[in-house]
Structure 1
Amino acid sequence: MTFEQLKPQIDAITSNKTHVDERLLEICKLLEKHVDHYNWVGFYFRNGNKEELKLGPYVGAPTDHTIIPFGKGICGQVAVSNQNFVVPDVNAQDNYIACSITVKAEIVIPIFVNGANIGQIDIDSNTPDPFTKEDERFLEFVTQKVSEILS
């Protein structure tokens, strides 16, 4: 399924009136099912006023990384930089927190509400260097839709 075909489904999920976590989980399921190189899809959010991220809804292999300090790993770096982070080869990253030996690449896109970075979508891939500019633009669309249900 193409990203353009997924956009209306993202719209439908985010406009649903179910609990926010249920909608976020539905987004994770949709992306993991329909994008072949998305093997783990999840959300991390700022943990209150702490300088750390807390794992939210996700699909994929269980992870021990339920709390990530700002600055640590790819997700922690995005919490500080406020920038997208595309990692074509996780083994080339000094500050990578390994979740699984099968993960080859990662993409993390921040979520902003009223200009503040409140979380991110994190996607791991078991395929080396799979992420394109199209993935990045599509995931920016997803995070914009998510920010609307969180604001």
Structure 2
Amino acid sequence: MATGKRDHGPGAFLHKGAGKRAGEADKRDFRGGEEMTRQVEKTNPRLTNLIVLLKNTSRENEAKIWREIAGRLETPNRNYAEVNLSKINRYAHNGEIILVPGKVLGSGVLEQSVKIAALNFSESATSKIRDANGQCMTIEQLLKDNPKGSGVRILR
């Protein structure tokens, strides 16, 4: 009796790629009934060294701010902060230290003189910050100058 349905019977199985389109790979690996996820490591040596330095400084100085920044930098690059100068101008006060765990972009006007530490700066952001008598610095430089992390505002 033909019902139009496939009966694979007891012990029958589908091959690994069954039901997938051509070229589509199986993204999961099952071992012992548990799903294994692939760990992706950072390939940028500056970034890996910075994350280790942040964690060590956090531990030595009991400053939770550096552990938080390390955690944000361990996420995928697409999740990094991209902060425009207009946002920094809106939330920063004159003479304040701003930390951006990502890139500072040059859109907007900066009217305050602030120190900004970030992973990267666009060229226009660097010139606008210097024009406002501000200072651009790397996160490594901020760590060296202020290991306790006091008086730092994080923007993302």
**TM-score bracket for this pair, using the shorter chain length:** under 0.3
The structure number with the bigger radius of gyration is 2
Decide which structure has greater strand share: 1
The TM-score normalised by the length of structure 1 is 0.26
Structure with more of its chain in helix, by fraction = 1
